[in-house]
Chain A
Amino acid sequence: MDLQIALLLGQDGITNGAIYALLALALVLVFAVTRVIFIPQGEFVALGALSLASLQAGKTPGTLWLLLGAGIAIFIIDGIGAIKAGALHRFPKIVLWNLAYPGITGLVLFLVKPAELPMLAQVMLSLILVVPLGPMIYRLAFQPLAEASVLVLLIVAVAVHMALVGLGLLFFGAEGSRTPAFSDAVFEFGTIHVTGQTFWVLASSVLLIATLYLFFERTLYGKALRATAINRIGARLMGISTIMAGKLSFLLAALIGAFSGILIAPITTIYYDTGFLIGLKGFVGAIVGGLASYPVAAAGALLVGLLESYSSFWASAFKEVIVFTLIIPVLLWRSLTTHHVEEDE
């Protein structure tokens, strides 16, 4: 291995690591606020990327049907709930988010020709399609179980993952897709070529992480999420709705996931089931951070990316083994250094 190869591998590892870091942050966020180990996090990567790809191919993305279906299901559940509670004033809001929003999105897709839109508009459209699925999934699958144990929530998360993978196959087929790069620019540093897309990935990741930091530190909603993460009951006593906190954390998780997918779709081929493995590597990063610390999780995810890149050079057949074995010393180290506090469940 000479210096050039080492640098290329490092660049590749950091690019992938940045994506894993984003997913690790989303996993930590969701776990801290709702105690859900969010296995389907990776599915949003695939749904975001594949929705964009099918928009560009001039097809209607299957995620639209998922959005419409989930909207109708929530409308029925919440509608009945509102009638039973005699709270008819809730109806406009329920109709707006669960029927009008998906309906208008569908209408827009139907009226404009998505394939002819500029790239930025296509990206926005894909996000509009995929991101609301986050809070919708929370409403349908996790909100009724909000007080259940971590294990039950994990099992439900696995079920949601299975359902989304199956739907992904149905919507997008078994073959993968790639999308064109955001920019064709190539930068040269001595002998090293760096593509524009790599810069996009790194810049967007840094920007997103900075925005999240500001969101948690400076805004009321961010502070509410942090409060819920620290103490659910305490937060409720202070008037913070845990349902709102849950939906908001899922919204952010879906946004981060879908955006990550859109970022890497030009670099690699995305399949309906690619998301799981990407999410799992983000999860390894999140575990390094003990599912609690954002900076350590991000650093862990970066480490996963680099480890993956260098091990693919030295021992390509054992790459995954090396990456996932990382979790064992980390768990050992964490269990030896941290004082275990019994959770009251």
Chain B
Amino acid sequence: MRIRLLVAALGFASMAFQAHADINVGVTVSATGPAASLGIPEKNTFALMPTTIAGQKINYIILDDASDTTKAVTNTKKLITEDKVDAVIGSTITPNSLAMIDVVAEGETPMISMAASSRIIEPMDAKRRWVFKTPQNDAQMAVAITGHMSKTGVKTAAFIGFSDAYGEGWWNEFSKIAEARKIKIVANERYNRADTSVTGQVLKLISANPDAILIAGSGTPAALPQVALKEKGYKGTIYQTHGIANPDFLRVGGKNVEGTWLPAGPVLVASQLPDSNPLKKSSMAYVQKYEAAHGAGSFSTFGAHAWDAGLLLANAIPIALKKANPGTKEFRAALRDALETTKELPGAHGVFNMSFVDHLGFDQRAFVMVQIVGGKWKLMP
């Protein structure tokens, strides 16, 4: 009995000691399940992040939520109550991130999401105070696409997207902004990520005869409609979203995706950015680090969202440390305040300028138009 007490006491002491000495960052990523192609590079990125910031050791506790909303919530609860983390990074996808908001607000822990939808941080309220995100909003990317469409004289457009939150989100933004720009939408179709054929949808798109078609999918599944469109002889311009920006899309799409336009974070074409670009240095830093660990051409823009989350924390932690000790409620609040006051921080995807109402803080420097030329991403002015 006495020994057991002693062990328990020692255990407690060591835990308390650890809580004071180290900063714990809880991470939940979708490294398996439907979003695995996004989650795996994110997970890989955490291994490249700094292990000490301002003299404090940083522990990253990484959990997999299998692209499942319930699992993401369970992970977040576990990270906050058991591991007593100072900040949560995650999750990879929008539904998971939305579900985590309640948990982090209750636990008064700042959270940085790596998912795209603007609903994660808008409209700002008492709960979303605690929530930040690093990927560009769909709306910003939709503006980039429709802007390019009107510039190149596209009058009619068609849309095909995933039949999930990603496709719906894009449809909402795209249809709204296209209408404002006087681009007529003549067809609107959905398909599933796991579909083996999209012939029906593609025939319907082609029979509407649009000048351009936007495909809203992510990763290699976004190649399927485009290949089908080419096979059925569609000659118009094809736009994709930034969700496709990984090397596997080029591998699977091959010749069929030549000439595709997409908006993307500058990191996708980091080496082609002019030296005057404020993001050249910060995005090259990530690309070089990732490729050194995983081989040339291996980096994807998704991992860069995780990297940016790490940069935000690395920038905010020294400020928060001046106010309180890690592991305390005060430290988490100070960290949140510090994140909100991030100014002119260049990341891999854009320059962060946070404010009370804007917990992303990107401007037009956070996207570029890219075309697939000769099987490679090419920066277009």
**Are the CB atoms of A174 and B37 closer together than 8 Å?**
yes
**Are the CB atoms of B221 and A176 closer together than 8 Å?**
yes
The CA of A91 and the CA of B221, in the complex, are separated in Å by 47
**Are the CB atoms of A312 and B37 closer together than 8 Å?**
no
**Are the CB atoms of A268 and B219 closer together than 8 Å?**
no
B residues near A264, Cβ cutoff 8 Å: 196
Contact of A267 among B36, B192, B197 (CB under 8 A): B197
Near B by CB (< 8 A), chain A positions 5-30 give 5, 8-9, 12, 15-16
Tell me if A317 is interfacial: C-beta within 8 Å of chain B: yes
Near A by CB (< 8 A), chain B positions 194-227 give 194-201, 203-204, 207, 219-221, 223-224
The CA of A197 and the CA of B192, in the complex, are separated in Å by 23
CB B30 to nearest CB in A, in angstroms, measures 10
- Which of A104-112, A270-278, A328-336 touches B? A270-278
Near A by CB (< 8 A), chain B positions 16-53 give 32, 34, 36-37, 39-40
**Are the CB atoms of B190 and A317 closer together than 8 Å?**
yes
**Are the CB atoms of A269 and B197 closer together than 8 Å?**
no
**Are the CB atoms of B163 and A317 closer together than 8 Å?**
yes
**Are the CB atoms of A166 and B32 closer together than 8 Å?**
yes
Greatest chain B CB density within 10 A among A15, A264, A271, A309 is at A271
Contact of B200 among A169, A268, A313 (CB under 8 A): A313
CB A254 to nearest CB in B, in angstroms, measures 20
CB B260 to nearest CB in A, in angstroms, measures 16
CB A162 to nearest CB in B, in angstroms, measures 11
Near A by CB (< 8 A), chain B positions 154-213 give 163, 189-192, 194-201, 203-204, 207
A residues near B220, Cβ cutoff 8 Å: 175-176, 269, 271
Given A174-B219, A277-B194, A316-B189, are A12 and B40 neighbors across the interface (CB < 8 Å)? no
**Are the CB atoms of A178 and B252 closer together than 8 Å?**
yes
Tell me if B248 is interfacial: C-beta within 8 Å of chain A: yes
Mostly, the B contact residues are helix
Name which residue of chain A comes closest to B201, CB basis. Answer: A316
A residues near B254, Cβ cutoff 8 Å: 178
**Are the CB atoms of B197 and A316 closer together than 8 Å?**
no
**Are the CB atoms of A312 and B197 closer together than 8 Å?**
yes
**Interface size, A (range):** 35 or more
The CA of A320 and the CA of B163, in the complex, are separated in Å by 11
A residues near B371, Cβ cutoff 8 Å: none
The CA of A309 and the CA of B198, in the complex, are separated in Å by 8
**Are the CB atoms of B203 and A313 closer together than 8 Å?**
yes
Number of A-B contacts (CB under 8 A): 97
Greatest chain B CB density within 10 A among A15, A176, A177, A271 is at A176
Name which residue of chain B comes closest to A57, CB basis. Answer: B251
A residues near B34, Cβ cutoff 8 Å: 273
Greatest chain B CB density within 10 A among A169, A175, A195, A314 is at A175
**Are the CB atoms of A269 and B201 closer together than 8 Å?**
no
Tell me if A295 is interfacial: C-beta within 8 Å of chain B: no
The CA of A16 and the CA of B200, in the complex, are separated in Å by 13
CB A256 to nearest CB in B, in angstroms, measures 17
The CA of A201 and the CA of B254, in the complex, are separated in Å by 23
**Are the CB atoms of A5 and B40 closer together than 8 Å?**
no
Tell me if B246 is interfacial: C-beta within 8 Å of chain A: yes
Complex A-B: 28 CB contacts under 8 Å: A5-B207, A8-B203, A8-B232, A15-B197, A16-B197, A169-B32, A169-B36, A173-B248, A174-B40, A175-B246, A176-B221, A195-B231, A267-B196, A268-B195, A268-B196, A269-B223, A269-B224, A273-B34, A273-B194, A277-B196, A312-B195, A312-B197, A312-B200, A312-B201, A316-B190, A316-B201, A316-B204, A317-B190
11 more contacts with CB within 8 A, not counting A178-B254, A195-B231, are: A169-B36, A173-B248, A175-B37, A175-B220, A175-B251, A176-B248, A269-B223, A269-B224, A271-B221, A278-B196, A313-B200
Instruction: List the interface of chain B (C-beta within 8 A of A).
Output: 32, 34, 36-37, 39-40, 163, 189-192, 194-201, 203-204, 207, 219-221, 223-224, 231-232, 246, 248, 251-252, 254
